[in-house]
Chain A
Amino acid sequence: MRHRLLAVAAGVIAAHLPSHLVAQTVRFAALGAYGTYQEATTSREWRGAGYGGSAEVVGRKLRLEGAVTRFTMASVAGPLSGLSSMHVLTWDARAGLGLGSSFWLEAGGGRLTADPKLAAQDMGFVRVGLLSESRFSRNADVWARAAYLPVTRYSGGGSARMAVELGFGIHLGLGSGRFHVRAAYQFQRMDRTVRGRDVPIQTTSARLGIGAGF
């Protein structure tokens, strides 16, 4: 019942959105990924590949993005506490508001969960940043983004006095633009402290995908 009410409310809101906010492009993509997770010391470094998917709705002044990626990572320095691999699931969500023709003010959140729990920190964060996008043509663009993560939460506690996120990538339409390839790189640095001790976390991910849009 609650879901139905939410669906109806979403429909009503969508129907009453101003025309300049209505989406012009909707894209979906399947992603292959390669990522790293580093925490505290050089001995706690994980690397691995994964897969995922993304969805993107871009209007004239409003854009929404979401991506989910599942990595299977292995410890670079050998088994840690008897664990040599882990699964990491990342969620990213962003909403952007257009500032002129090539800049977007972005806000959103993200979540990272590790399995098993002891291998890495489960964390969540809120991001606020800026996206710069430059169009080569109707079907191709390059972008870069930078965000500050003002709110971070960790399963192991602590907080980050400085947490930033950088990223860049390309989107290249194929043929008529119905299909496209995309590549994106994302870097996160969180200077986390727990009870006065520095326990920094750093993640990177490179995603390569192919998708369709309309």
Chain B
Amino acid sequence: MMLRRALAAVFGLALLVPAARAQESAAVRRVKQSYDELSYDSVIAQGQRVIARERLSRADRALCYELLALTYGALDSTAKAVEAFRELVRIDPDREPDVNRVAPRITALYASALGQVTVIRRVRVDSVAFVAGLGALPIRYQVSRPSRVVTRVSGPGLDALVDSGTAAGNGEVRWDALLPGGAPAPDGRYHIVLEATSGRDVYQVDVPVDVGSAAVDTLQHLTTLEGYTERPESERPPRSWRPLGIAALYAAVSSGASLGLANTNVGQGTSTGLLAVSAATLFAGFAMSVSRPEPRPVESNILYNRLLREQIARRNSEIAVQNAERRRQTLLRVTPAPRTP
């Protein structure tokens, strides 16, 4: 039995180390010293007296109840341990024994106490930014017992009901940060108050948040589409002997026809001019065959580029519409503010 008590005390001491840093009251320090010395009777006597008579901060009061609960737990005074844990939960619902450091029996006592009171714990609000009217601030929490949870928000020019419903275990509400008329909430500090009601038990938690507004960033117009690049609209074809072939064909057919149609009755004539022009034609064909071909348009690439430009223009017109809408919108940034004890 002594060994078990000593182990519980050591575990409890480990649990209390972080909290001890925050406490300032000399009376509470003495209670803790008694606990460290395993003077359980002294812990109980001093602890009850300090709670009853001293004006303690919330943290000191929570530490006193925690020391009492651990002491009662170590002494197997289950009912009193649960009672002390109940008070601890009411004062600081998020303060709970570390399952890795305390005996399972202590954890079970804490769980028993938690199930007997109605509290909202593990309230979590993350910093978010959203366009007014298109997003909301999520507020996540746990209720210790099935409860009706009413969420209200109050702040500059606003006092409104956010949500009302029943919750068991984990719950979530979302605040859109809009005024009743639909306008974005003005900049300032707002208090989101969650109130859990279960039977006659009522528990309230105040979550302060800061709301700031800013203009919504506009989108940049596109000059290219990712993954698509314009293709060359012209290409230089490879050298070809086609010009020489065509020139030879024209010259041969025309010369042949001229010679064939020539009327020999009026003389043989002369072929000087015919030969000169034929040679010039062949030379031109040869020159065009060996010269660097001119670039020629590539219709498929021209069509591709046209479609690409049309697509970019269409996207840009959509962006223009979106930007016009964005210029009318307001970006709301909601950040959790430090809670007052």
| Chain A residues within 8 Å of B, Cβ to Cβ | 34-36, 38-42, 44-45, 47, 76, 132, 134, 136-138, 140, 142-144, 146, 164, 166-170, 172, 183-185, 187, 189, 191, 198, 200-202, 204-206, 208
User: Contact at A204–B274, with CB atoms within 8 Å?
Assistant: yes
CB neighbours (8 Å) of B281 from chain A are 142, 168-170, 183
Of the listed residues A39, A45, A170, the one surrounded by the most CB atoms of chain B closer than 10 A to its CB is A170
* B72 CB to nearest A CB, Å: 104
Near A by CB (< 8 A), chain B positions 235-285 give 243, 246-247, 250-251, 253-255, 257-258, 261-263, 265-270, 272-274, 276-278, 280-281, 284-285
* B102 CB to nearest A CB, Å: 93
Of the listed residues A36, A38, A40, A185, the one surrounded by the most CB atoms of chain B closer than 10 A to its CB is A185
A183 and B277 alpha carbons, distance in the complex (Å): 6
CB neighbours (8 Å) of A34 from chain B are 272-273, 276
A76 and B270 alpha carbons, distance in the complex (Å): 11
Interface stretch of the complex, out of B24-32, B126-134, B286-294:
B286-294
CB neighbours (8 Å) of B280 from chain A are 170, 183, 208
Of the four ranges (under 10, 10 to 19, 20 to 34, 35 or more), the interface on chain B belongs to: 20 to 34
User: Contact at B272–A166, with CB atoms within 8 Å?
Assistant: no
User: Contact at A168–B277, with CB atoms within 8 Å?
Assistant: yes
User: Contact at B285–A142, with CB atoms within 8 Å?
Assistant: yes
User: Contact at B246–A134, with CB atoms within 8 Å?
Assistant: yes
CB neighbours (8 Å) of A39 from chain B are 266
User: Contact at A136–B274, with CB atoms within 8 Å?
Assistant: no
A136 and B243 in contact, given A44-B266, A45-B267, A206-B272 (Cβ under 8 angstroms): yes
User: Contact at A40–B266, with CB atoms within 8 Å?
Assistant: yes
* B243 CB to nearest A CB, Å: 4
* A157 CB to nearest B CB, Å: 18
Which residue of A has the minimal Cβ distance to B264?
Answer: A42
A187 and B277 alpha carbons, distance in the complex (Å): 12
Which residue of A has the minimal Cβ distance to B279?
Answer: A183
Which residue of B has the minimal Cβ distance to A76?
Answer: B267
Question: Which among A134, A166, A172 is the interface contact of B254 at CB below 8 angstroms?
Answer: A166
